[in-house]
Amino acid sequence: MNFSFAFLIMWAVILIPLLVIVLIVIAVIRHGQRNNSNYRIENRGNAALEILDQRYAKGEISEEEYIHKKRMLNEP
């Protein structure tokens, strides 16, 4: 009877830290993915503003259109 209990404790000592490590790795991966998606969204917004600035500088759009579109892009 004592042998089976010791065997169970041995497996718990091995599996619990392993489970904790796996959960930490999963949390780090998910946190990294969230940060990357936010980074990509911010870059898209910046790219859109850069394109808008370039179009205005080239004279492709009027000042009114430029101001209107810039406000739309800066809204949350």
In the chain, domain spans: 43-76
Average pLDDT over every residue of 42-49: 71
pLDDT tens per residue, range 29-45: 888 777 665 555 555 55
Phi, psi of 75 (to 5 degrees): -70, 140
> In angstroms, what is the C-alpha Rg of the chain?
27
pTM of full prediction above 0.75: no
- The tokens for 60 are 């492709």
Average pLDDT over every residue of 47-56: 91
Q: Which residue has the higher pLDDT, 56 or 47?
A: 56
